[in-house]
Every structure is written in C-alpha cells, then in structure tokens.
C-alpha cells in the first residue's frame, strides 16, 4: 500500500497506533465481519473523520486562548451489558478567564447539511453521563459547508419521542464560542487586499485563441480599502484579508492586473486561522490538525489577530463583533463575565424581573 492510506489521509509520523485504533473500532462496530470490504473501509473513514473533528475542535479551543485544558475522552469503557444508560462525550474542557473557571463536557459533531439530529436515547445517555459527573454538557457542531464551529448548550436540545433536530439558524443565536471560548467575528472593509500587475516584455506570438507573450510582474502590493499601499503587513492581518477575498482581473495587450480584495463579508477568528494554515497547502488537501495543533501559535496568535484587527479600524476593518447568546446557560449565569468585558443579561425569573 502507498503512503496514502485508503482512508483518504496521508500517513503521519507516530500515527500508527491511532490508525490501528480506527481500524479496530470500525471492525468492532461491524461485528468483526470483513466479508464486505467496501462497508469496512467506509466505516474506517467514518471513525477516522470523527477523530479528526474532535482534534480539530480541541486545537481551535486551545488556540483561542480561554481553554487551558482539553482532553479527548476514551469511550472504551467497561460496562455491564444491563447498564446501558450512559454515553461518554468526546471532550472534557476547562475554560478560564481571570479568576473564573468553568469545566464542561463536549460532544463533537459535523454534518454535511445545515441541521443536526439526535435520537432521544442518545441525547439522554449523554445527559446521564454529564449528570453523573455534575458537569454541563455542550454540543460542538460544524456544518461542513459553513466551515466554522459553534458551541451550544445541550439543555436547549429538546428531544421528543422521535428525537430532535437542531437547525443552524436556531443554534447560531445561542452560540457560546465567543462568550466561553473567546472567538470573535470580523467584518473587513470592502476593497482591501492584494494587487498584482504584470507588463508584457516580449513580442506577441499568434495562437489559435489569440496570442501568447512573456509578462513580468512589476508590482505586487497589499492595499487598504481606500487604495493606500500597506507595507510590513503582519501574518495576522494578511491572513484576515485573505480569508474574505474575491478575485477580479483586467487584461489588455500589454498589461494584466489581478486583484484579490475583501468583499466585506463576515469572517471569524477560527476561519482566519484556517486560512493561515491552508495558505501553503494544495487545493483540496485536508488540514492534519494533530500535526499542526502544537504549533498553531507560531502560525498566528489569536490575541495578535484581535489587536491587528482593532488597529486596522477604518482602513481594513469595519467591525469586530462579540456575540452573546440569546439564552444564557445556567452554569454561566453567575461568576462569568466573558473575555471582552461585556455584562450579560440573566433570563427572566418567575416574577418577570431581570438582572443586569
């Protein structure tokens, strides 16, 4: 077998044990039946992708800065067959801000579409495990076509007899990634970006479709939203600009101008990190979060990205947004002010009064 394993990811240093675990777990889930190779390989891919999602989310939590400890829980529990009430979540995480500290359990999910479904027994077993340990239960979810993670209080997941479906537009309103983990959204000003100019330096040679000629790049600059040239652009600011680019091109007989400029759409700190990581990767190549997780701070730092964004107000950045959930989880009502000094509303009690 080549270095590219059939699960769809390249072999990594020291990954033999992890790969063997994925194979064994897939075989066990199929009753150790190898009669259908396609089903077996598909199950391995499913296990492998699940492990990758957990590592990706854990790495992003640590990079954002407020999660000081995150541990992937081992679901190889020895359980009495008659005692099937518990489901082990994927992660245990500890968040701190100043003197404040909160520990939580997190179930990690990714989906192709914009909704997430839980069966009633599954969510109840997760809650039973959290209750046994007296820990809040959260759901980390990334719809793959959206690309960023949201963090949801599991108490908002209400299961009926047929289970429950969480829709993205409902979940995003109560996202805890900002309040608990320190994530934030950035809206760049429209028009900041990169500009390349190439001038023709050779004679035109006719072809079937037109002509060909040698061009030489004579200008390559970063510029702000007003068109002013920027020098000494930091890794953080360049990654921010690159995360929301659109492409435009002007071609004449003697010159080509390629512009990559921000479209003014919203991005997130975690998406800027993803842009910085993938900038030097081949198109379609997946990030190997286990390999890069220990060195994310050497690529860009979350605190430096925030400082650069705030320093670029009016030139490259229009807004920095810190989102509050519509419903504040019970475990955050007291003693947690959040990373951005924002006071959070307490839900109305039975008397209808509200706290500040």
245: CB partners within 8 A, 6+ apart: 193, 194, 260, 261, 262, 263
Tens digits of residue pLDDT in 27-68: 655 566 666 666 656 555 545 544 688 999 999 999 999 999
pLDDT reported for residue 212 = 82
Burial (Cβ within 10 Å: 0-12, 13-18, ≥19) of residue 16: exposed
Within the chain, strands assigned E span 67-72, 91-97, 100-111, 115-118, 137-143, 150-153, 164-167, 185-188, 193-200, 205-207, 210-212, 215-223, 229-230, 245-251, 255-262, 267-268, 317-321
CA-CA distance, 59 to 194, in Å (whole number)?
A: 29
> Band of the pLDDT at 21, cuts 50, 70, 90?
low
Enumerate the domain spans of the chain: 1-62, 66-183+322-356, 186-319
CA 161 vs CA 118, 121, 130, 153: distances in Å: 11, 9, 21, 20
> Band of the pLDDT at 81, cuts 50, 70, 90?
confident
**What class does CATH assign to 66-183+322-356?**
alpha beta
CA-CA distance, 78 to 28, in Å (whole number)?
A: 15
CA-CA distance, 51 to 285, in Å (whole number)?
A: 17
Q: Give the distance between the most distant pair of CA atoms in the chain.
A: 83
Strands, sheet with 137-143, edge to edge from the N-terminal-most edge strand: 67-72, 91-97, 100-111, 137-143, 150-153
> Band of the pLDDT at 283, cuts 50, 70, 90?
confident
CA 167 vs CA 53, 322, 325: distances in Å: 19, 22, 15
Tens digits of residue pLDDT in 189-245: 999 999 999 998 988 888 887 778 888 999 999 999 999 999 889 999 999 998 988
Tokens of 348: 């109305």
Q: How many residues does the chain have?
A: 356
Residue 105: how many CA atoms within 13 Å on its side-chain side? Answer: 21
> Band of the pLDDT at 93, cuts 50, 70, 90?
very high
CA 260 vs CA 85, 123, 190, 308: distances in Å: 54, 45, 11, 20
In terms of average pLDDT, the best of 161-165, 224-228, 249-253, 343-347 is 224-228
């Amino acid at each position: 077998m080549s270095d590219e394993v059939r699960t769809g990811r390249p072999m990594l240093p020291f990954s033999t044990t992890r790969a063997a675990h994925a194979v064994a777990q897939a075989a066990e889930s199929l009753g150790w039946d190898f009669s259908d190779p396609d089903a077996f390989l598909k199950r391995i891919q499913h296990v492998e992708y699940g492990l990758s999602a957990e590592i990706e989310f854990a790495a992003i939590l640590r990079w954002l800065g407020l999660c000081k400890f995150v541990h992937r829980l081992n679901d190889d529990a020895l359980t009495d067959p008659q005692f099937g009430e518990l489901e082990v979540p994927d992660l245990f995480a500890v968040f701190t801000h100043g003197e404040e500290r909160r520990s939580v359990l997190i179930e990690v999910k990714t989906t192709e579409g914009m909704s997430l479904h839980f069966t009633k027994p599954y969510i109840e077993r997760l809650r039973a495990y959290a209750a046994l340990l007296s820990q809040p239960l959260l759901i980390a979810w990334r719809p793959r076509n959206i690309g960023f993670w949201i963090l949801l209080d599991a108490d908002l997941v209400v299961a009926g007899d047929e289970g429950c479906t969480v829709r993205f537009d409902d979940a995003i309103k109560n996202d805890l990634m900002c309040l608990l983990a320190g994530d934030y959204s950035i809206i760049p000003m429209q028009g900041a970006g990169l500009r390349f100019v190439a001038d023709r330096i050779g004679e035109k040679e006719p072809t079937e479709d037109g002509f060909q000629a040698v061009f030489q790049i004579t200008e390559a600059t970063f510029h702000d939203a007003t068109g002013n040239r920027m020098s000494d652009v930091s890794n953080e600011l360049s990654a921010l600009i690159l995360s929301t680019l659109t492409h435009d091109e002007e071609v004449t007989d003697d010159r080509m101008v390629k512009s990559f400029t921000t479209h003014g759409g919203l991005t997130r700190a975690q998406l800027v990190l993803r842009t910085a990581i993938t900038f030097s990767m081949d198109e379609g190549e997946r990030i190997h979060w286990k390999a890069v997780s220990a060195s994310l701070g050497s690529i860009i730092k979350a605190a430096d990205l925030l400082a650069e964004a705030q320093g670029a107000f009016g030139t490259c950045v229009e807004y920095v947004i810190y989102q509050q959930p519509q419903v504040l989880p019970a475990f955050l009502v007291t003693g947690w002010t959040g990373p951005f000094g924002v006071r959070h509303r307490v839900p109305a009690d039975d008397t209808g009064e509200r706290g500040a």
